């Protein structure tokens, strides 16, 4: 099933239209289809699901909450012609197994690191979103010799996090006892936060893909734990330390980076892009059009083309 496409002619239209810069150049449609073969690998005693398209140096896509490899479906084709595009489902999410673990950041980090080792990935380019950003950056600071470049968007890194004040609003409610009703019983991260984070909205076909991994309250535990892992108000201290360490590493590393941002954004915005230029020596920034938090659902072509061009230029430098 294909969702509407938008063709816009001027810069003003890119900012004014709800479908904004989506497919701005070609008018290609956003597809709800997920036409990729499923692959599985055993990691730490559980199966992790991933898609694996193309050949060449690997580009590893890491999603966040409450998404999966499905988030990258309309971006993968832009890089799989000349690279090996791999999109993983984090443990407990997507089509990956749901072992009996706490689903802390540290749990996910162990599984991501072991996944990379299980596939024998070398000279990796990381493409990161949401909690996938912290997972990917944490991997990179510990395995810098194995990382060619990092592209990231809507990231949980300085200066957006750690936050000095406790979390408020919806995420603050998820961190409280009320979160168990909202997330485990009502599935609010999928039913509310996700569609609210997409400027164009999501079709029923797309929503069904995102609902599929979480049919029961028990299956939704990873989506509840992730907001409780956010470093805010000094808690959890273990993740405050992780994100601060990531920020320090970004200041000194020579790994090339690409920051993709949308307007108005959610975690990151234009001011965040300016902060990246000031804080990170080897970063480029790129505005991709209108979008909220899940900008891959609003701007897949702009993200895909920008990512592909940046990655090819890395090979020439």
| DSSP letters spanning 100-167 | SS---HHHHHHHHHHHHHHHT--SEEEEEEEHHHHHHHHHHHHSGGGEEEEEEEEES-TTTSSBSSPP
Q: By CB neighbour count within 10 A (0-12 exposed, 13-18 middle, 19+ buried), where does 104 fall?
A: middle
Per-residue DSSP letter, 178: H
Token output for 234 = 């000094």
Contacts 24+ apart (CB under 8 A), 271-279: 272/159, 272/160, 275/159, 279/158, 279/159, 279/247, 279/250, 279/251
Q: What are the residue ranges of helices labelled H in the chain? A: 11-16, 76-79, 105-119, 131-142, 169-175, 178-179, 188, 194-196, 204-211, 221-229, 237-252, 270-279, 295-298, 300-316
Per-residue DSSP letter, 235: B
Catalytic residue ranges:
130, 154, 293
The span from the CA of 31 to the CA of 2, in Å, is 5
Cβ count within 10 A of residue 271: 12
**Nearest C-alpha neighbor of 207 from the set 193, 222, 227:** 193
* 127, 121 contact by CB (below 8 A): no
């Amino acid at each position: 099933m294909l969702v509407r496409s938008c063709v816009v002619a001027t810069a003003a239209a890119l900012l004014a239209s709800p479908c904004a810069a989506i497919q701005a150049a070609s008018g290609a449609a956003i597809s709800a289809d997920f036409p990729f073969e499923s692959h599985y690998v055993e990691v730490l005693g559980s199966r992790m699901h991933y898609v694996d398209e193309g050949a060449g140096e690997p580009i590893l896509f890491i999603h966040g909450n409450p998404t999966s490899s499905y988030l990258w479906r309309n971006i993968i084709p832009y890089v799989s012609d000349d690279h090996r595009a791999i999109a993983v489902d984090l443990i407990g999410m997507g089509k990956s197994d749901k072992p009996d673990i706490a689903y802390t950041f540290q749990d996910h980090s162990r599984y991501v690191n072991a996944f990379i080792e299980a596939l024998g990935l070398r000279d990796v380019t990381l493409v990161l979103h949401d909690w996938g950003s912290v997972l990917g950056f944490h991997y990179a600071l510990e395995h810098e010799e194995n990382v060619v470049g990092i592209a990231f968007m809507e990231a949980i890194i300085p200066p957006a996090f750690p936050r000095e004040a406790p979390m408020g609003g919806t995420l603050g409610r998820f961190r409280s006892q009320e979160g168990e009703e909202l997330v485990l019983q009502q599935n609010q991260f999928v039913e509310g936060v996700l569609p609210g984070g997409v400027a164009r909205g999501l079709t029923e076909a797309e929503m069904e893909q995102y609902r599929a991994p979480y049919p029961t309250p028990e299956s939704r535990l990873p989506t509840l734990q992730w907001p409780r892992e956010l470093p805010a108000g000094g808690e959890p201290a273990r993740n405050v330390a992780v994100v601060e360490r990531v920020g320090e590493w970004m200041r000194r590393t020579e790994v090339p980076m690409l920051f993709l941002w949308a307007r108005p954004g959610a975690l990151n915005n234009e001011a965040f892009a300016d902060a990246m230029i000031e804080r990170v020596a080897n970063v480029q920034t790129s505005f991709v059009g209108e979008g909220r938090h899940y900008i891959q659902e609003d701007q897949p072509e702009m993200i895909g083309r920008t990512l592909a061009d940046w990655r090819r230029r890395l090979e020439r430098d």
